[in-house]
Amino acid sequence: MSAVTLKMLAKHLSLSVATVSKALADSHEIRQSTKTLVIEGARELGYVGNPYASSLRKRASKTIAVVLPEVADSFFSEAINGIESVALQEGYHVLIYLTHEHLAREQAIMEEFKSGRVDGVLVSVSEETGSGEHIRRVLDSGTPVVFFDRVCDGPGTACVITDDFESSYRAVVHLAASGCRQPTFLATPTNLSISMNRLKGFEKALADLGLPRHKDEVLIFGKNEAENMDLLRAALSQPRPPDGMLVCVEKHVTYVYQLCAELRICIPDALKVIAFTNLKTAQFMSPPLTTVSQPAFEIGKTAAAALFRALKRASKTIDEEVIVIKSALVKRESTGSSPVSPG
Amino acid sequence: MSAVTLKMLAKHLSLSVATVSKALADSHEIRQSTKTLVIEGARELGYVGNPYASSLRKRASKTIAVVLPEVADSFFSEAINGIESVALQEGYHVLIYLTHEHLAREQAIMEEFKSGRVDGVLVSVSEETGSGEHIRRVLDSGTPVVFFDRVCDGPGTACVITDDFESSYRAVVHLAASGCRQPTFLATPTNLSISMNRLKGFEKALADLGLPRHKDEVLIFGKNEAENMDLLRAALSQPRPPDGMLVCVEKHVTYVYQLCAELRICIPDALKVIAFTNLKTAQFMSPPLTTVSQPAFEIGKTAAAALFRALKRASKTIDEEVIVIKSALVKRESTGSSPVSPG
DNA sequence: CGGCGTTTCGAAAACGGTTTCGTAAATAAA
DNA sequence: TTTATTTACGAAACCGTTTTCGAAACGCCG
């Protein structure tokens, strides 16, 4: 705690606190000569303003919150980078909250935001989140919220997403072109927007391509690792197992590679795999993983920019808009493309 | 901003603000019946206390800061998980700051902390950081700081690290046992504690094993990707290139795999590779990567616990202690172990 | 020189809680 | 019954800023 306050600085300079405060804020009411005097005195005494006194009075915290399911994920960590880059530039601080995919936790976090602790919120909802009523309440309390990647239908606000439907569609087309007749969609619970849209793209592609519907066409993974493994193992151990797999979220990739090793299923010969992921090591995997690479940094940056646009308005209101940033399908050997020169 | 304040709640209950405040704080001065009355009223009106008013008066922010070089790294993201787990449990908020390996940024961040914005700081210093004078100043201002992973010699405080020297030593022993005669150490600038200790372990092992010293025994990577590539390419393109590589930080792994693909250098036949990393995909890489796996979550958790021990003291002082949590050498094919059953 | 508009600054009231201290009532001790 | 002590609450000061508003001081013009 910086022991030196405005009052002390004022006394040291034989000025009033009002004058010093205004001088430090570069107010037009103060003449240049005293401003420089104050600046100098502040530097000399090592004055650092108390942010809480300031926030209390100004009703603004210079802080935003980022709430997301987890941080140990290449998409989210890159998105944080994007967010941080603009927060830094705007002179804002960023609080981070992890929901670990639990709705209850997400609700508790949002409840806190009604206090005005943060000026704005960036959120990627948990896989349990449905209605978004808790987020609506935050918006109602006057703090702008923008969704990124995983959005929520209820609250009308800005969201920055990728072209989930189209990416998924393209992925299935690529799987089919690589010889798949029976691809499986591996997803989180489908109340999640991204799962829903990716699933729709998957199904539309299936229909358009005239691929036959089959059992285990869609596998839903929950939070229990063992159960997920069992589910996937069962699907892959069938008489007519799937010959392609579209993995909806990064952390499920390891299940697939793990089980294929265990069950001696050769990728891509017996099973072709595509995953939504930003893993830098995808190209060095065995075999190199075909990915739907999302512009994670860009999404974070764009979402943050949208938030700050709202914060700069007097009304703090945010446009109800959907910003779509395209993902790229990066073809590698896990779908049977050229066996040499990965990358 | 929650429109309902303590004063309004007090008026609604026909009580004084003092009583309501104390009731919500579960003070012994207030009888149970009025406490429940207040709780009920607060719930009814949706009262959420203003954290800034509270922080200002109590001189405590219920907030800690985590400052680290980057977040897109499996070690740091897992460490954040560990930190968040205990912050949540303690009811604290966590601010995140990224230095992107820049000392100037780190100094600016630390300067801010003199304001009392946070009650404590967890820091993993940038690769440019030397003296730690800026961190000393934060400690002097009364906010406890604990280092994790990347420490700094100057300031006397707690730090939580892994057994860098020993891990490095064991890694070299393993490289030698796998047939390496000329291993190279790939590092960040060595003013970094981890680089220094890992380098010392590397060199001690070289000496103990009687391995000959050679040119390009140590390669220092900076921030420029192209330069790093050139440096490594030059080393690997020599007449007598290194036959082993100990990679000090995760993000450098891709350079090695990339260049080996480009230069048609076979891992592990021509070059054996070990890296300090927590990548979940290490076992699925081509070839599966031998790693020194750090207990990242545990390190984060332990560092946070140490910080909270200090925060619970009246003095806020922190023991000058070094907590070492051991890493594990996980042998895989990149150092030539059994070519089947990776994992 | 008086009136008027600008500068430039200070006193004081916020901001929304917490905490100290005083006090009245209730209870215990004598 | 009187006195000491506890219990339960409220008035007001306080945390460290920002901001409103008033008031000197100054320059300008007629």
What pLDDT is recorded for position B341? 40
What pLDDT is recorded for position B215? 80
Nucleotides of chain D in contact with protein CB (under 7 A) are 7-12, 14-21
How far is the alpha carbon of A212 from chain B, nearest alpha carbon, in Å? Answer: 32
What pLDDT is recorded for position A340? 42
Checking if the pLDDT of B319 tops 90, the result is: no
Q: Where are the alpha helices (DSSP H) in chain A?
A: 6-13, 17-24, 32-45, 51-58, 74-90, 103-113, 133-140, 164-177, 193-209, 225-236, 253-262, 296-312
Checking if the pLDDT of B343 tops 50, the result is: no
pLDDT band at A90 (very low <50, low <70, confident <90, very high): very high
Q: Which one has a higher pLDDT value, B153 or A289?
A: A289
**Averaged pLDDT, B315-330:** 93
Distances in Å between the alpha carbon of A181 and those of A172, A240, B83, B148?
10, 11, 46, 50
Checking if the pLDDT of A168 tops 80, the result is: yes
Classify domain B60-162+296-326 at the CATH class level.
alpha beta
**Cα gap A24→A39, rounded to integer Å:** 7
**pLDDT above 90 as % of chain A:** 83
What pLDDT is recorded for position B339? 45
**Cα gap A295→A317, rounded to integer Å:** 26
Task: Tell me if A185 sits within 8 A of A285, measured CB to CB.
Answer: no
Distances in Å between the alpha carbon of B140 and those of A294, B116, B145, B310?
44, 12, 10, 14
**Cα gap A252→A186, rounded to integer Å:** 8
Checking if the pLDDT of A2 tops 80, the result is: no
How far is the alpha carbon of B206 from chain A, nearest alpha carbon, in Å? Answer: 29
How far is the alpha carbon of B203 from chain A, nearest alpha carbon, in Å? Answer: 29
Contact residues, chain B, for A141 at CB < 8 Å: 1-3
**Domain limits, CATH 3.40.50.2300, in chain A:** 59-162+296-326, 164-293+329-335
pLDDT band at B324 (very low <50, low <70, confident <90, very high): very high
Q: Which tokens in the block code for residue B233? A: 């390419």
- The dihedral formed by the CA atoms of B32, B38, B44 and B47, expressed in degrees to the nearest 10: -130
Short-list B296, B336, B52, CA closest to B162: B296
pLDDT band at B11 (very low <50, low <70, confident <90, very high): very high
Short-list A139, A63, A75, CA closest to A293: A75
Collapse the DSSP code of B145 into the 3-class scheme (helix H, G, I; strand E, B; otherwise coil) and give the result.
strand
Q: How far is the CA of B248 from the C1' of D17 (A)?
A: 47
Residues A205-251 have pLDDT tens digits of: 999 999 988 888 899 999 999 999 999 999 999 888 999 999 999 99
Ramachandran category for residue A316: left, alpha or beta (phi over 0 → left; psi -120 to 50 → alpha): left
What pLDDT is recorded for position A156? 86
Q: Which tokens in the block code for residue A11? A: 């006394």
What topology is assigned to B164-293+329-335 in CATH?
Rossmann fold (3.40.50)
For the beta sheet containing B183-187, the strands, ordered from the edge strand earlier in sequence to the opposite edge, are B218-220, B183-187, B244-247, B272-276, B290-293, B328-330
Residues B53-102 have pLDDT tens digits of: 999 999 999 999 999 999 999 999 999 999 999 999 999 999 999 999 99
Task: Tell me if B117 sits within 8 A of B145, measured CB to CB.
Answer: no
Checking if the pLDDT of B342 tops 50, the result is: no
Q: How far is the CA of A9 from the C1' of D2 (A)?
A: 56
CB-to-strand D under 7 Å, chain A 290-309: none
Q: How far is the CA of A36 from the C1' of C5 (A)?
A: 27
Short-list B113, B107, B108, CA closest to B131: B107
Checking if the pLDDT of A341 tops 60, the result is: no
Ramachandran category for residue B329: left, alpha or beta (phi over 0 → left; psi -120 to 50 → alpha): beta
Cβ-based neighbour number of residue B245 at 10 Å: 28
**Cα gap B96→B65, rounded to integer Å:** 6
The structural architecture, per CATH, of the domain A59-162+296-326 is 3-Layer(aba) Sandwich (3.40)
**Averaged pLDDT, B158-186:** 95
CB neighbour list of residue B72: distance below 8 Å, 6 or more residues apart: A74, A77, A78, A80, A81
Q: Which helix (H) or strand (E) holds B36?
A: helix B32-45
What pLDDT is recorded for position B320? 92
Short-list A173, A199, A174, CA closest to A186: A199
**Domain limits, CATH 3.40.50.2300, in chain B:** 60-162+296-326, 164-293+329-335
**Inter-chain CB proximity B285 and A285 less than 8 Å:** yes
Q: Which one has a higher pLDDT value, B196 or B147?
A: B147
Buried b (16+ CB within 10 A) or exposed e, A100-133: ebbbebbbebbebbbbbbbbbbbbbbbbbbeebe
Checking if the pLDDT of A64 tops 50, the result is: yes
What pLDDT is recorded for position B2? 63
pLDDT band at B340 (very low <50, low <70, confident <90, very high): very low
Cβ-based neighbour number of residue A39 at 10 Å: 14
Q: Which tokens in the block code for residue B25? A: 């704080």
Task: Tell me if B121 sits within 8 A of A54, measured CB to CB.
Answer: no
Q: Which of A73, A93, A141 sits opposite B95 (nearest CB)?
A: A93
Contact residues, chain B, for A94 at CB < 8 Å: 95-96
| Phi, psi angle pair for A8, to nearest 5° | -65, -45
First to last CA, chain A: 51
What pLDDT is recorded for position A337? 54
What pLDDT is recorded for position A235? 92
Buried b (16+ CB within 10 A) or exposed e, A183-203: bbbbbbbbbbbbbbbbbebbb
**Cα gap B33→A99, rounded to integer Å:** 35
**Cα gap A241→A235, rounded to integer Å:** 6
Mind giving me the DSSP string for A121-175? EEE---TT--S-HHHHHHHHTT--EEEESS--SSS--EEEEE-HHHHHHHHHHHH
Q: Which tokens in the block code for residue B42? A: 């607060």
**Cα gap A185→A190, rounded to integer Å:** 11
Residues A252-266 have pLDDT tens digits of: 999 999 999 989 999
- Best of A112, A281, A315 to substitute, by most chain B Cβ atoms within 10 angstroms, is A281
**Cα gap A221→A231, rounded to integer Å:** 8
**Cα gap B75→A144, rounded to integer Å:** 32
Lowest average pLDDT, out of A35-39, A168-172, B58-62, B284-288, goes to: B284-288
**Cα gap B343→B334, rounded to integer Å:** 12
What pLDDT is recorded for position A339? 45
**Cα gap A88→A91, rounded to integer Å:** 5
Collapse the DSSP code of B73 into the 3-class scheme (helix H, G, I; strand E, B; otherwise coil) and give the result.
coil
Contact residues, chain A, for B253 at CB < 8 Å: 281
**Inter-chain CB proximity A116 and B56 less than 8 Å:** no
Residues B37-57 have pLDDT tens digits of: 999 999 999 999 999 999 999
What pLDDT is recorded for position B71? 96
Q: Which helix (H) or strand (E) holds B56?
A: helix B51-58
Q: What mean pLDDT, rounded, does chain B reach?
A: 92
CB neighbour list of residue A201: distance below 8 Å, 6 or more residues apart: A164, A165, A166, A167, A168, A169, A171, A172
